[in-house]
Amino acid sequence: MTMLPGASCAEEPMYREEPMYGTMRLFSGRANPPLAERISEYLKVPLDEAEIFEFPNENIFVRLKKSVRAQDVFLIQPTCSPVNRNIMELLIMIDTLKRASAGRITAVIPYYGYGRTDKKDQPRVPITARLIADMISVAGANRVLTIDLHAGQIQGFFSIPVDEMTAMPLLVRHFREKNIPNPVIVAPDVGATKRARNFAQALDAPLAVIEKRRVGNKPTARVLNLIGRVRGKNVIIVDDEIDTGGSLEGAFEILRRRGALEIYACATHGVFSPPAVERLSALDFSEIVVTDTVLIPPEKQMRHLRILSVAPLLGEVIRRIHTGESVGAMALA
């Protein structure tokens, strides 16, 4: 709010409502332009043009086509594959915006790469999720907007505000509409239990958990154990991301052996690193549901894949951040 010229303290103050950080501006890196387009359509705000290219020596160069001075900039760039290029591009774009005097820079990172390297769980290893958070802040971002971090505690790796949204209601709505009879929700590992439990509660369905247990000293030798009943039921496996598909493959096999009927799977992030497509295409899933936080090229779009869009969710949060409305209230709505 601004006091208009001419108003004195003695008079009735005159205020004018105005956006806190100038006009909303939307930019996209090269990580997921279709998602950025969908967010732009939701907001009815055009995407700004930026020239982004690599020199022969692989150095990334960015040039903004128009001034962003004192404007409220949202930069959309998930740090998905190619992860290291997309992270570097994100940092360089933030630096470009900062040096162009943007009023506020919100890094919209729908998928946060390196999120699984979030703790020192053995000697002499990095905490890369923290390193990336530091780099984003140092580059000049003022805020971060993200979806379903691998661990919620990663929010605390940032010293700037982080809005972490969840795509779980979107996935719950999808399965509620399918009205699958006799469902049971399955966590594919113990770490996924809380997420799966919330999902089960929302669908009013029971929960089962797959426990992976290491055998001997070999890191790859594992047995799977299933806690809960799936026989004669239709199963929905719930996870935060599908990477190589190994967890889903293991889950599928034990669920089939234990008598599950139809097997569905869902996750927020469809990373699908090799050999996920080969692995999952060979299995008789009824449906695998992910969102568009990560760009999934046509060659990875398997026959049973369904992609839901997080654009309305991100668009609405961007609108609220811009106008200073509560984002937390959305979770309660």
Q: Does 240 bind ligand R5P (CB under 6 A)?
A: yes
Tell me, yes or no, if 212 is annotated catalytic.
yes
Cβ–Cβ < 8 Å for 203, 176:
yes
- For ligand R5P, give the closer residue by CB, 43 or 192: 192
Q: To the nearest whole angstrom, how small is the minimum distance from the Cβ of residue 74 to ligand R5P?
A: 27
Q: To the nearest whole angstrom, how small is the minimum distance from the Cβ of residue 151 to ligand R5P?
A: 9
- The separation between CA 100 and the C-alpha centre of its own chain, rounded to angstroms, equals 28
Write the CA distances from 264 to 75, 268, 306, integer angstroms.
34, 14, 11
Which H/E stretch holds residue 265? strand 263-270
Q: Of residues 41, 164, 211, 243, which one binds ligand R5P by CB under 6 A?
A: 243
| Amino acid occupying residue 157 | F
Comparing CA positions, the residue from 167, 135, 164 lying closest to residue 152 is 164
- For ligand R5P, give the closer residue by CB, 104 or 195: 195
Catalytic residue among 212, 218, 233, 300: 212
Contact mark string toward ligand R5P, 187..206, x via CB under 6 A? -xx-xx--------------
Q: Does 118 bind ligand R5P (CB under 6 A)?
A: no
Residue 122: partners with Cβ closer than 8 Å, 6 or more residues away: none
Q: Does 31 bind ligand R5P (CB under 6 A)?
A: no
Residue 30, CA atoms < 13 Å, CB-side half-sphere: 17
Comparing CA positions, the residue from 144, 151, 149 lying closest to residue 121 is 151
> What is the three-class DSSP state of 323?
helix
Q: To the nearest whole angstrom, how small is the minimum distance from the Cβ of residue 214 to ligand R5P?
A: 15
Contacts (CB under 6 A) with ligand R5P, residues 210-239: 239
- The separation between CA 102 and the C-alpha centre of its own chain, rounded to angstroms, equals 25
- For ligand R5P, give the closer residue by CB, 143 or 256: 256
Footprint of ligand R5P on this chain (CB under 6 A)? 188-189, 191-192, 239-247
Active-site positions read 212
